[in-house]
Amino acid sequence: MKANIIVTLKNGLLDPQGKAIEGALKSLDIPGVESVRQGKIFEVELAEQDKAKAQALLKAACEKLLANTIVENYRIELA
């Protein structure tokens, strides 16, 4: 089973990388970009076929390793 895990900074936290990209896009004459926030995506392949079990496994992976839940949100998308 394939899954995507998306980890993003929580709203309200400053994202300097996103701000830098915003500025760079402006200077490249790409108009109308109001905001950019950068996050991480993990494309995971699992042996587990059961959706509920896969979800539980990935939640554990996020909490223990992939996301810093103090400053980051994560979401799990099962394919």
Pairwise CA distance, residues 58 & 70, whole Å: 18
Q: Could you tell me the smallest distance in angstroms from the CB atom of residue 28 to a second copy? A: 5
Nearest to 15 by CA among 33, 35, 37: 37
Q: What does the per-residue mask of binding to a second copy show for 17-46, with x meaning CB under 8 A?
A: -x--x--xx--x-xxxxxxxxxxxxxxxxx
Q: Which residue has the tokens 């810093």?
A: 68
Asked if 67 interacts with a second copy (CB under 8 A), we say no
Contact call for residue 16 and a second copy (CB under 8 A): no
CA distance 5 to 46: 12
| Contacting residues toward a second copy, per CB under 8 A | 6, 8, 18, 21, 24-25, 28, 30-48, 57, 60-61, 64-66
